[in-house]
Amino acid sequence: MTFVPMLQRYLHRLFGNRDRQARDARADFETLNAGAPLKSERAGAQADTADEPDPPAGFICRETVLGRDQRVAGYQFMLQQSTQKRLRSSSRRIHHVYAEVLVRNVLKLDVAKLLGHRHAFLDVPDSFLEHPSIRELQPSRSVLTVHLLDEPDAPAPTALLESVRRLRKLGYRIAVDVSSVGAENAFLLPEADFAILRANEGSPERTDYAVMRLRTVNAGAKILARELPSQDDFQFFSGLGATYFQGPFITRREDWSGNAIGPNTARIAALLARLRRDADTHEIAQLLSQDAALSLRLMRYINSASIGLREEITSIERALLLLGREQLYRWLMLLIYSADKGTARSSALLESALVRARLMELLGKDRPEGERDALFLVGLLSLVDVILQVPIEKAMASLGTAPEIEAAVVRGEGPMAPLLRVAIACEQGHGELESAAAAAHIDAQAASRHHLEALAWAMQVSG
């Protein structure tokens, strides 16, 4: 789905019945029960570890996966890094508990309905492939990265191959991390649908060699390049034939000091500034009428089926009165993202901004409506400079936002900044969620759950 239609779909949903959407989302997501797998599934070798204490709660985060066109192709769902570190010295039972936490939460996203053409990438231990929760995932959208656990009760290579082949026949995809492939697990490479390479695993020459080695064993495997720090790294791995890409390069800020805001964006920004100064409706209508394209978009929107008016509106001034100043402000704010031609990553960045916005709104659900609206805008604008490719100070100065919104977005200050840090921490696996949630005086487990709700909402918007 291209950027502008996605934006239009978002606008229709945004100004529809948001209270109903919030109720539906809350009904779909139960409180995460991370520490207790089903007792009936603790069998066999796991019975020997019955006295082992239950693991602490794990926090689910997600990282965007882009395709070669730099649009969203999927997500890697994973545990926070602090949880991953605890797992390295844990028993196989604990690995299974956390793997089930991961899978169950992805199932709550209703991937079959929401992912569409996208993939869900999940890292699971070797013996978890036979776990019943795996069969509940949508086969054609699920990519399972198989990790071998160095323990005596590991499945034999022949048994593991049989599990992999059974899953592939059912439509599931299998991924193998090429950087961790050695003599003991090379047998998995010929069965891999995806091969994972990491930008931080060595020199370009070593990476090139790894690709050549992969092609001799499995020429059909698609390459997923992870941990790409920059656009240059994206170009390098793209040149090697990679199909999917992850890493900080997606939201990385660069030196855009020489860039200026586009002319269409500047016109919308001027309207926003007038709204902030409480210009009267007649003045706003006159300014809108000077931009034929913007006026047409407003009239199409106000007369769309999602608004549900009984009569056609032909007057810009009447359209503004019906829409209301607050909704007009949000409508214009969203149009900022599509006013001028964006980069190939614009749709992916907008989706990330929408997740942040919705998450911050959910985290502030007990606050007054005006504060919730401000939190939404902070999340939405947190990537405005990356989308417009201008310095953040220049982008925000043109929008005429409230001082507290600008303080949170530009300087990370003020009462809304802690929740923005929580929203960003939910996207990353670096282990900052617990500390960010504590600083914001919210429950980290609730933040993780609301993050998945926000992601589901944004995916519905994006289609």
Kindly report the average pLDDT of the chain as a whole number: 81
Tell me how far apart the alpha carbons of residues 14 and 266 are, in angstroms, rounded to a whole number: 23
Is the CB of residue 400 less than 8 Å from the CB of residue 276? yes
Check residue 407 and report its DSSP letter: I
Residue 29 has what pLDDT? 32
User: pLDDT at residue 37 above 60?
Assistant: no
139-178 burial code (b ≥16 CB/10 A, e <16): eebbbbbbbbbeeeebbeeeebeebbeebbeeebbbbbbb
Helices and strands counted in the chain (H then E): 21, 8
C-alpha 356/C-alpha 350 separation (Å) is 10
Report all structural domains of the chain as residue ranges with CATH numbers, in order of start.
56-250 (3.20.20.450), 263-462 (1.10.3210.10)
The string over 346-380, giving b where at least 16 C-beta atoms fall within 10 Å of a residue's C-beta and e elsewhere, is bbbbbbbbbbbbbbbbbbbeeeeeeebbbbbbbbb
pLDDT recorded at residue 40: 31
Instruction: Say how far apart CA 9 and CA 145 lie, in whole Å.
Output: 33
- Of the listed ranges 54-58, 322-326, 389-393, the least confidently predicted one is 54-58
- Supply 195's token pair: 């091969």
Percent with pLDDT over 70 in the chain = 81
Structural contact between residues 173 and 142, judged by C-beta atoms closer than 8 angstroms: yes
Which pLDDT belongs to residue 189? 92
Q: How far apart are CA 163 and CA 156, in angstroms?
A: 11
Across 253-267, average pLDDT: 87
More confident residue, 62 or 431: 62
- Distances, alpha carbon 350 to alpha carbons 50, 89, 334, 355, in Å: 46, 38, 9, 9
Q: How many residues does the chain have?
A: 463
The answer to whether 66 and 348 have CB atoms below 8 angstroms apart is yes
387-443 confidence digits (pLDDT tens): 889 999 998 988 878 899 999 999 999 999 999 999 999 887 666 888 999 999 999
Residues paired with 79 in a beta bridge: 60
Query: Does the pLDDT at position 90 exceed 70?
Result: no
- The β-bridge relationship of strands 173-177 and 60-66 is unpaired
Beta carbons within 10 angstroms of residue 315's beta carbon: 12
Q: What is the pLDDT of residue 18?
A: 44
pLDDT tens digits along 205-252: 888 888 988 899 999 999 999 999 999 999 999 999 999 999 999 999
Token look-up 């900022």 returns 336
H or E segment at 167? helix 157-169
